[in-house]
Chain A
């Protein structure tokens, strides 16, 4: 079909947050067209893992590489982060919100990723909130805001999608729509890392299960201090 030009590699990721070791020595690699589904109990560090990949949490140890990415860019600059917060400004209209993100977030073009850039109007149409395009985002329902936030991923092509509980606040129909988008992204050679509680019917997935280990083996460096 296509050559897996992109390869996201995480080596021995170790993270301390607030003096607590969240996880340690976590390694995985992910190729183009694959989704990594992160599972595990609450508070085990799924969100932290995604935020780490997004470059928002400093690594205590280990590194994150993106083979085949643009040389002058960090891995997180190839990624979209779709977290719990919508980053939607109520005072701006739906299109204004989206146009800002299109101009502001730098697109990342890599070999093997054929995701296309939608215009803001197309993106909101795709997600079924086209009729709200000119309205201030304040009038949107929670689900609509969520979809507006999701359309952000379509207006700037980036090969990695980091999605934290992507289906929350979405109804069944929108969930199916989301899955179609995600599968489309995978087909285009993108990759997805998602933390979820619900089964997601994605085409090509790997599972990363996080689980607790015995406490003593893994005292954080901070414990010394």
Chain B
């Protein structure tokens, strides 16, 4: 299909949007991996959340 003389602009816009969306996805993924790793490292040192689940329920 033909997008006329402005095809460059159209593809550039869609491309840049795609890139931004991918960047957002990459950001949350990497951030998640990072926090997971930190939590794991802390857990290996024996530092975990001590508060049990049922207690947290009546905390609020």
Contact = CB atoms under 8 A, between A and B. Distances in A.
Contacts of B50: 215-216, 219
Task: Determine the main DSSP class of A at the interface with B.
Answer: helix
A221 interface: yes
Interface in B33-57: 49-51, 56
Contacts of B49: 219, 223
B59 interface: yes
Nearest to B59: A221
A117 B51 CA distance: 52
A221 B49 CA distance: 11
Interface residues of B, number: 5
A223 B56 CA distance: 10
A221 B58 CA distance: 11
Interface string A181-225: 000000000000000000000000000000000011001010110
A221 B60 CA distance: 9
A3 B52 CA distance: 48
Contacts of B56: 224
Contacts of A219: 49-51
Interface of B: 49-51, 56, 59
11 contacts: A215-B50, A216-B50, A216-B51, A219-B49, A219-B50, A219-B51, A221-B59, A223-B49, A223-B51, A224-B51, A224-B56
Interface of A: 215-216, 219, 221, 223-224
Nearest 10 interchain pairs by C-beta: A216-B50, A219-B51, A224-B56, A219-B50, A223-B51, A223-B49, A221-B59, A215-B50, A224-B59, A224-B51
